[in-house]
Structure 1
Amino acid sequence: MAPHPAPLRPLALTSAALTSVALLLSGCAAGAEPGDPTGSADDTAAEGPAVVATTTWQGAFATAAGAEDVTVIVPADVQHAPEYEPSPSDLAAVAEADYVLYSPFEPFARQITDAAGGDAETVEVDLDNAPETISAEVTRLGELFGTAEAAEGWLEDFDEERRRIAEELAGQWPDGEAPRAVAQVYATWAAELAGAELVETYGPEQLGASDVAGLAEAEPAFVFENTHMSAGRVLPDSDALQIGVVNYPGEDLDLVALYETNAHAIAEAFAGREAEPGAGGHGDH
């Protein structure tokens, strides 16, 4: 399930922004050699379609599916991607794409395609790091891109790595038993990876006093919180350790590395320590 923050108003693209896009596009065209849209005859184009992804999350799915030419619009260090406002250079990148990957909670996605005037096909992606969603979306994108074989190979490696990580975390359960946990609805995949007994979920709406009381009554040992929609400590009067779940991959667009990052935070919590979200050798998202 994709993270669905409150809808934002559609991006209003000003005439000045559109003019800037036109200048960028005309400048690119003027400097390009015939048959070389990048303007550099020495560059070797990546095989497969040119893909523009609105965030690193869609970009990671595209890379897993076998796409080699992937451009990401929203920088990896932007904490809340739906609030990002595309620049003229972002719009210009879309004009050169074969596919633009977006999610429905990003109100700017279709606007940037229309404003750039490109012929890119827009593709809605279901964003969830649960293995079944990753498998379905990577398979679908591989078929769309014509890279189905590469997608299948990646999924085989991913399944092996996921099982390894889950087994290692199970070996670190406190007292050797699956711990009780609550999770924000878009962080449940991490609780499942940890093998936790998920006793309650919450969100995506802000928690009220009665919600907090209900979660506390469940007596969890751990809280799996979505760092991208976090309002702070979920159970401040509880001994439960909070685990900040990172959903967006880093600039490397590596979903396995994202799993490793979250596994590090989970293992630290199992050992009685709270790690900073994203700690463990990966990006901020």
Structure 2
Amino acid sequence: MARTRVRIPSLLALSTAGIVLLTGCGDSDSTGKADASSSPAAGASASASADAAEKPTVVVTTTWEGAFAKAAGAEDITVIVPQSVHHAPDYDPKPSDLAAVAKADFVLYAPFEPYAAKIKEAAGSKAKLVEVNLDNDPDKVKAEVDKLAGMFGTKDAATAWKTGFDTEYTKLNKEVQAAWPGGKAPTVVSQVFTVWAAKLAGATPVGTYGPEAVTPAQLAELSAKKPALVLDNAHMSTGTVLPDSGAKQVKIVNYPGDDLDLLAVYRNAAAELKKAAGAS
């Protein structure tokens, strides 16, 4: 079945019709308060339970939004679009998906997803609908994580995540730049949703294309720039973008896996970029 649910600590199920696609989780305990006065330890346990109970229930359309939610500190996350759907905007939500949406505290979606209107209609009066700017540019990611953490009440968790993110990103950026022959970044053409990968490589694209197919005029214009690399979007690929140009085409993946680990997206991109540079 087309569902995927990922739990971080375990949490209450969203609903018996729980839907999935790209994951998340959380948990709560209603018994802690009764014991809070019996001992300091019991009080601490009750406090922990209360904190867990305050964690929001979040439904996201894809693992991309799910990774942003997880980075922001959410633990109970249900993903609607299954990982098996290569092009998420093509997915048609099922009634069970929409039922889960209606029971969430927050529903995260992207404006380019054509089923967003259905998600809005199904959300009802309880869920807060949040439009997410899906862009893996590091500055934009951190801005979205801060925004979501402010809504979720999880600013400390988001701050910790951003610290780890900055450390890992800096490391990957240095590794990729060190892989280029002579230490000089190559000339790059990028699909509009993979410009962040060029930034990771320390390169500024000399041209962009998409999301529509490349037109003959664009093909001539981009080929004339003699790019060494074409950073293609694995989720919207139309095949070889600049045939006969001699450019290496690098497949860049934007969506995280079922573990909702956004950092893995940068690690994978760095590995592909280093491979393109001839590094092992």
Number of the residue aligned with 1:204: 211
Residue type of the alignment partner of 1:129: N
The answer to whether the 8 Å contact 1:64/1:154 transfers is yes
What is the aligned counterpart of 1:73 among 65, 75, 80? 80
Aligned counterparts of 1:183 and 1:47: Cα–Cα separation in 2: 42
Greater CA drift, 50-59 or 82-91:
82-91
Distance in 1, Cα, partners of 2:115 & 2:201: 35
Query: Per-residue deviation at 1:82?
Result: 1.1
SS in 2 for 1:100: strand
Task: Determine helix, strand or coil for the equivalent of 2:65.
Answer: helix
| 1:144 and 2:151 matched | yes
Deviation of 1:79 after TM superposition, in Å, equals 1.3
Task: Verify: 1:191 aligned to 2:201, yes or no.
Answer: no
In 2, distance between residues paired with 1:178 and 1:231? Answer: 25
Q: Distance in 2 between matches of 1:124 and 1:150?
A: 21
Does residue 232 (structure 1) correspond to residue 239 (structure 2)? The answer is yes
1:219 to 215, 226, 231: 226
State whether structure 2 residue 187 is matched by structure 1 residue 162: no
Q: 1:239 to 1:117 in 2, by over 3 A?
A: same
| 1:182/1:220 contact within 8 Å kept | yes
Aligned residues: 238
Whether the aligned pair in 2 keeps the contact of 1:96 and 1:118 (CA below 8 Å) is no
Q: Which moved more, 1:159-168 or 1:102-111?
A: 102-111
Secondary structure of the 1:132 match is: helix
Partner of 1:32: none
Q: Give the superposition deviation at 1:47.
A: 5.3
RMSD of aligned residue pairs (Cα, Å): 2.4
**In the alignment, what sits opposite 2:44?**
none
In structure 2, list runs of 5 or more residues that go unmatched. 1-14, 18-26, 32-48
Amino acid in structure 1 at the alignment position of 2:187? R
Distance in 2, matches of 1:109 and 1:202, equals 25
Q: Deviations over 1:17-75 (max 9, x none)?
A: xxxxxxxx7x77xxxxxxxxx9xx99x97751000000001000000000000110001
Aligned counterparts of 1:244 and 1:129: Cα–Cα separation in 2: 15
If the length of structure 2 is used for normalisation, what is the TM-score? 0.79
| Structure 1 ranges of 4+ moved more than 3 A | 44-47, 115-118
Unaligned runs of 5+ in 1: 1-24, 29-37, 274-285
Q: Which residue identity is paired with 2:130? A: V
Offset of 1:148 from its aligned partner? 0.7
Partner of 1:8: none
Which range moved further: 180-189 or 56-65?
A: 180-189
Tell me the percent identity. Answer: 53
Structure 1 residues 185 and 100: CA distance shift in structure 2, 3 A? same
Residue 90 (structure 2) aligns with:
83
Query: How far apart, CA to CA, are the structure 2 residues paired with 1:129 and 1:100?
Result: 20
The residue identity in structure 1 corresponding to 2:252 is V
Change (3 A) 1:207 1:119: same
